[in-house]
Structure 1
Amino acid sequence: MKMKISALALLMTVALSGCTAQQTSATKPAAEPQKTTAAAQPANVQKRDLADGLYEMALSPKGDALYVASSEGFKDVQGGVVYKLDPRTLKTIGASHTDLKNFALALSDDGQTLYVTNSLDGGVSAINTADGKVKNRILFPERNDEGFPYGARQILLHNNTLYVGAVADPAIIWVVDAKTLKLKTRIKNTGKWMTGLHYSEKTDRLYAANGGGEILVINPRTNRVEHRWKPLGDKPALLLNIAEDSETGRLFVTDNSKAKTTLVLNIQTGEVIKQLDIGDSLSVKFNAKRNEIYVSRRDGGKVLSLDGTSYAVKQSWDLPPNPNSLELSADGQTLFVTVKQKFNKDHSTSGPDSVVRIDLNK
């Protein structure tokens, strides 16, 4: 019998990926396709079909492993996988098969622990990267009016503390000890649907985006909300992901579904410096090494490279149907993208999602 999923869980998945999904209780195993897509790509683009339900990525500190979170299928598939890929070839060099579905990732500074949000179950798992085993887990107790867990969306690691945003109304941010996975406290009064999380060394503040069009400025020493910015005023906005140019003090904030834009904000005041007219935007990265901004346009099927000063589009990569998450190498010369397939009416897809490697030097 299929497990009924709440509207909130659907909205959580929309906020994370720009698409809807359904969880089931059947246990049909998911196989990993091993072939690389044969579609023609530019010389600097390498694409590999990997698995259903790909979401966020994380690179190891040494740059020798790319971790990719997968929920696997939402139709007749229980659990998920975290894939470990060679960042140069995109070949699988490891895999952690998990009993829960995986979405967002954070990696410890020493590279020994990978933290993954189990969004549909309202929890976080800690995976030992040496053997791929789940070594610890926390499931949060909060439930919505229908009895379903709050969706654990984004995860941020700072100063041995995990900050986990809850997609709920009202939303909260769980504050968790990264070593023990014990809940330390909750940051409340964070608006509707907590989405993006970012820490700035420049200001020593957390920045949190929500579905009500707000950016919250939080002091991580006191876990108190110090400022609430609403950059688009009363206009509908579902702000998602955040990136920073620390040299110029700018925040880049995306909106995929309401305002369909990318905002450039003053990191000190929240003032709108620029509203980029590039269409819908989901994931965003700033590359200080090349002074470039990268934005995935999920609906538009493209990833854009913008000049970090003029905001002019320098390059556009066609990655249909739905480019999703972005990850940037430490040297700033390689960009990774997860590309999702469209969902059918029965919540299946026509093929596996993909991982793309873009050599920015070519």
Structure 2
Amino acid sequence: MRGSFPSIKALYSALLMTALTAPTVFAQPPAPAASSAASSLVERQLGDGLYELALIPGQNKLYVASAQSFKDVNGGVIYRLDPTTLALTGETHTDLKNFGMAIDDKGQFFYTTNSLDGGVSKVDTQTGKVVERLFFKGKDKDGDPIGAREILFHNNQLYIGRVTDPGYISIVDAQTMTLKGKIDNVGKWVTGIIYSPITKRIYAASGSGEIAVINPADNKIEQRWKPDDGHKYLFLNMAEDPTTGRLFVTDNSEGKTTLVFDERSGKVIKRLPGDALGIKFTAKRHEIYISQRESKKVIQLDATHLTQKRSWSFEGHPNSLLVSPDGNSLYVTIKQDFNEDNTTKGPDSVARISLK
């Protein structure tokens, strides 16, 4: 892995730019958040190493996964925020660093990947406490645990993308936290993974620039979709518009584009220029949101005509996105620049954008 990246830490900086111990949980007094003049955007500084978010239905809790600093800091934090004001309402200090997030169907637990340790943690949504962990076996050629990046909860199972070459997906029983199997040869670094309720297939994006189409009934790869235009791609994240049967895939390497696949044919039907990292679709508003790390913007597109409607600019680099179930709020984690020693130039932030 170090042939392309100096370390697994550097790999996660590039991609995310993308034994159980008892953690401590304690409440914090709310801190004031910075608000825009139009009051449509609220942003607050939170801490180092922020990545993905999880909004718990009916519980008024927004959880944010943190890896903390990569230099001289062991472990990470899971922050709990008020989803409206972004006031800090609790913290869980974990002995491992936290990256990806997924919630179960009932909202009782969420799961966070501990990428640098090759594991996944199960967290109680009521308390924020880690209740169980699973560590995967296997090391890469440098002796590091094989990274566990993106995570999908589907049919009481966890599908966890593994960052290695060739990449694979680990399948975990979400209730018992036991390994059930794996899907091999998905592509170089499994970077993104979603489920389509329309095609009833799992889509897995990879750093080799292809989409593996997986049937979750037997966990077999049925198709592989590629742009086939002669360009190199490092696919990252995906979003689906089920009303039009289009799959949106971001690429922030050489391509600096968002590719639009027709799910019926598996062919690329359109390219949206511009750097792209996180991407989300909301059916309620029929809109697409893309985080542009380099441009320091989040853009809003009309999902039918794929034309830009609005954009929001930040001082830092927008990273992960989350749309609330009611479609009224968009949450963004905002990263700071990395120094050469893997420290950052300041704490990362979380923003809430009102879409109403």
Secondary structure of the corresponding residue to residue 120 of structure 1: helix
Alpha-carbon offset, residue 315 of structure 1: 0.4
Classify 1:121/1:173 alpha carbon distance in 2 versus 1 (closer, same or farther; 3 Å). same
* CA–CA separation in structure 1 for the residues paired with 2:77 and 2:6: 23
Alpha-carbon offset, residue 117 of structure 1: 0.2
Query: 2:260 touches 2:269 (CA, 8 Å); kept in 1?
Result: yes
- Where does the alignment leave 5 or more consecutive residues of structure 1 unmatched? 19-31
Which position in structure 2 is the counterpart of 1:12?
12
Which position in structure 2 is the counterpart of 1:320?
315
Query: 2:117 touches 2:147 (CA, 8 Å); kept in 1?
Result: yes
Classify 1:113/1:282 alpha carbon distance in 2 versus 1 (closer, same or farther; 3 Å). same
- Where does the alignment leave 5 or more consecutive residues of structure 2 unmatched? 19-27
Alpha-carbon offset, residue 351 of structure 1: 1.6
Secondary structure of the corresponding residue to residue 14 of structure 1: helix
Which aligned pairs between 1:1-362 and structure 2 lie closer than 5 A?
7-17=7-17, 35-36=31-32, 38=34, 40=36, 42-62=38-58, 64-277=60-273, 279-361=274-356
Secondary structure of the corresponding residue to residue 12 of structure 1: helix
Classify 1:232/1:275 alpha carbon distance in 2 versus 1 (closer, same or farther; 3 Å). farther
Classify 1:345/1:33 alpha carbon distance in 2 versus 1 (closer, same or farther; 3 Å). farther
Classify 1:280/1:242 alpha carbon distance in 2 versus 1 (closer, same or farther; 3 Å). same
Query: 1:8 touches 1:168 (CA, 8 Å); kept in 2?
Result: no
* CA–CA separation in structure 2 for the residues paired with 1:68 and 1:244: 23
* CA–CA separation in structure 1 for the residues paired with 2:228 and 2:325: 33
Structure with bigger strand share is 2
TM-score, normalised to structure 1, is: 0.91
Query: 1:83 touches 1:92 (CA, 8 Å); kept in 2?
Result: yes
Which position in structure 2 is the counterpart of 1:25?
none
* CA–CA separation in structure 1 for the residues paired with 2:300 and 2:75: 35
Opposite residue 61 of structure 1, the aligned amino acid is P
Classify 1:16/1:38 alpha carbon distance in 2 versus 1 (closer, same or farther; 3 Å). closer
Aligned length: 343
Classify 1:240/1:173 alpha carbon distance in 2 versus 1 (closer, same or farther; 3 Å). same
* CA–CA separation in structure 1 for the residues paired with 2:6 and 2:115: 13
* CA–CA separation in structure 2 for the residues paired with 1:63 and 1:328: 16
TM-align CA RMSD = 1.7
Secondary structure of the corresponding residue to residue 85 of structure 2: coil
Query: 2:194 touches 2:202 (CA, 8 Å); kept in 1?
Result: yes
* CA–CA separation in structure 1 for the residues paired with 2:170 and 2:66: 23
* CA–CA separation in structure 1 for the residues paired with 2:35 and 2:108: 36
* CA–CA separation in structure 2 for the residues paired with 1:101 and 1:206: 26
* CA offsets 1:14-50 (integer angstroms, 9 cap, x no match): 11235xxxxxxxxxxxxx9975465755420000111
Alpha-carbon offset, residue 100 of structure 1: 0.1
* CA–CA separation in structure 2 for the residues paired with 1:219 and 1:272: 21
Structure 1, 205-214 or 285-294: larger mean CA deviation: 285-294
Alpha-carbon offset, residue 149 of structure 1: 0.6
Alpha-carbon offset, residue 54 of structure 1: 0.4
* CA–CA separation in structure 1 for the residues paired with 2:353 and 2:228: 33
Query: 2:297 touches 2:314 (CA, 8 Å); kept in 1?
Result: yes
Secondary structure of the corresponding residue to residue 189 of structure 1: strand
Classify 1:80/1:283 alpha carbon distance in 2 versus 1 (closer, same or farther; 3 Å). same
Query: 2:206 touches 2:235 (CA, 8 Å); kept in 1?
Result: yes
Aligned-pair identity (%): 53
Opposite residue 326 of structure 1, the aligned amino acid is L
* CA offsets 1:301-356 (integer angstroms, 9 cap, x no match): 00000111111111010012200000001111110100011111222222211110
Give the ranges of 4+ consecutive aligned residues of structure 1 lying more than 6 Å apart after TM superposition.
Answer: none
Query: 2:31 touches 2:88 (CA, 8 Å); kept in 1?
Result: no
